[in-house]
Structure 1
Amino acid sequence: MKRDQSPVLPGDGATDYARYMRTEALLDLQRHPGEVLHRDELLFQVAHQSTELWLKLAEAELTEAVHRVDAGDPAGAESLLTRATLAVRLVTDQLEIFRHLSPAAFQTMQPALGNGSGAESPGWRRVQAASRQLGRAFTEHLATRGATPATFRPTDPTDPAHRLAEAMLEWDERVSLWRVRHLQVALRIGGHAPAGTPGSPATMLAKLTGHRFFPELWQARVATADTPTCAHSRPDSP
């Protein structure tokens, strides 16, 4: 007997998939063909709108990770942070689509963007705030162990706090790689003067590539690498 596939969910759409995913609203969020200045506006909007969705997921995972750390569950926070990191990796990967957007096409569509800038992304601003909250929560968690991010010297790789610290470094690294890739896209299609040129937006983008949410953890990593674990580990030891 053929299964009845008539929609049972409320909402718009001929199928439950369309109603649950709200595809009619989703696919109507882009400028219509009669509105666009250049057909590649669709490419531009899809890439940026999907970025906002991935950032929404990343922020949700980061926020829950903060709650887990506050509750004394760094292992649970690590898992959530790993998911947020993957979301940023996917955001970075999709920047490849801009290889198919020429500077001339971008210049044609630019009036449609007004004064808009990626720096105004609401998703990214929420991710930044959540990242800072994670740093705060981790610092407070370490304080219960008599440590700080700058003095944290984990020796047990199975320690949940150690694993969370590693995940935080991975998050920082993936965000930095995203920023570097975004800078290259801006230089490739945006017509910006190279970083270092007075007044060029690329100068600020280049500075941001070196930003870290958890600088003390990076410093602790360097300090750990520079500190011998025991006397016979030194090259000049007998």
Structure 2
Amino acid sequence: MSCPHHSTEAIVKDEGAQLDFSKDMSYGDYLKLDQVLTAQHPLSPEHNEMLFIVQHQTSELWMKLMLHELHAAVACVAEERLPEAFKMLARVSRIMEQLVHAWDVLATMTPPEYTAIRPYLSNSSGFQSWQYREIEFMLGNKNSAMLKPHAHRPDLLNQVQAAYQAPSLYDVVLQLLAKRGIAVPASHLQRDWTEPYAASEGVKQAWLQVYRDPQAHWDLYQMAEELVDLEDAFRLWRFRHVTTVERVIGFKRGTGGTSGVGYLRKMLDVVLFPELWAVRTEL
């Protein structure tokens, strides 16, 4: 009977013989890790600045994937390829959960630790995250003032502005309801897409038709619940954002000149898909 330890050694030795990647693309090559892992350049002598940089860089990477999925989901909804859209939207909700938990890591930074690095941040601010702004616009929270932080970068401004001027995910879903023969007010099928979404009694009635007979409208019913999942996750992200900021800087103004916690608390009241929440009272 062979000794398990010797068997393990043999396996490791055999695997080791296969570990010469000098002639092929390696893990690091594929992921461009030389570029990714050398993109952290603290400006202060403070130990804790690395946390601040990595937190925000990884969040931007997750947001890049969110946008990748959201753009594809909007296209799928427009083409009535709903099973694919469901998978993409479910993935966006899971990404949002990752972003929620990321605040737990940043919250380990204490006020004195942040105060030590704050002077080195100059006017840089999360307000200037063009990816986050594009996500907000794609989910229907339109505000022309939010284009201004990107005016110094015409290339990025163009991308954010495209999302600002386009129908949101919810707008495209309402157009889908109309295609399926469910009455949706004309005011919500063709409108100025740059305006913030306004709740409608007619849209609520359209969703009530779906919710009162889910078997007859199963994929629309599932779409509604995917949207509720997404907004639920987004609300958690906003809540953790404001509580983390308050925990670390209190009510000081943000580095970009924003009101900080005051502004973030107002954002907690924003409802992206109002009728999907309102129908719950009616059912």
Q: TM-score range by the shorter chain?
A: 0.7 to 0.9
Distance 1:6-1:193 versus aligned 2 partners, 3 A rule:
closer
Relative distance call for 1:20 and 1:222 in structure 2 (3 A) is same
The equivalent of 1:31 in structure 2 is 41
Alpha-carbon distance in 1 for matches of 2:235, 2:127: 15
Correspondences of 1:25-174 after superposition (within 5 Å): 25-32=35-42, 35-132=43-140, 133-144=168-179, 145-148=181-184, 149-151=203-205, 152-153=207-208, 154=210, 155-156=213-214, 159-174=218-233
Does structure 2 retain, via aligned residues, the 8 Å contact 1:75–1:164? Answer: no
- Tell whether the 8 Å contact from 2:224 to 2:276 is kept in structure 1 after alignment: yes
Q: Secondary structure at the match of 1:100?
A: coil
Give the 3 Å change call, closer, same or farther, for CA 201–150 of structure 1 in structure 2.
Answer: same
User: What do the CA deviations read for 1:167-207 (whole angstroms, capped 9, x no partner)?
Assistant: 1011111111111111001111013269xxxx842111111
Cα distance in structure 1, aligned partners of 2:89 and 2:183: 22
Divergent runs of 4+, >4 A: none
**1:146 Cα deviation after fit:** 2.0
Give the AA of the match of 1:169: V
1:63-121 deviation digits (Å, cap 9, x = unpaired): 11101100012232111100001001101111111232110010110012111222221
Tell me the CA shift for residue 54 of structure 1. 0.6
RMSD: 2.0
1:6 aligns with 2:22: yes
| Bigger mean CA offset, 100-109 vs 148-157 | 148-157
Gaps of 5+ in 2: 1-13, 141-167, 185-202
C-alpha displacement at 1:124, in angstroms?
Answer: 0.7
Paired with 1:170 and 1:216, the residues of 2 have a C-alpha distance of 14
CA deviation digits over 1:44-73, x for unaligned, max 9?
111111001111111111111101100012
Alpha-carbon spacing, 1:111–1:193, altered in 2? closer, same or farther (3 Å): closer
What amino acid maps onto 2:133 in structure 1? R
Q: Find the counterpart in structure 2 of residue 190 from structure 1.
A: 249
Paired residue secondary structure (2:204) = coil
The two structures have a TM-score, normalised by structure 1, of: 0.82
Give the AA of the match of 2:37: L
Residue 209 of structure 1: how far off its partner (Å): 1.1
Structure 1, unpaired ranges of 5+ = 10-15, 226-238
Q: 1:7 Cα deviation (Å)?
A: 4.1
Aligned residues of 2:251 and 2:262 also touching (Cα < 8 A): no
Task: Assess if the C-alpha contact under 8 Å between 2:28 and 2:34 holds in 1.
Answer: yes
| Partners of 1:129 and 1:193 in 2: CA distance | 27
| Secondary structure in 2 matching 1:150 | helix
Give the TM-score normalised by structure 2: 0.70
**Number of matched pairs:** 212
Identity %: 26
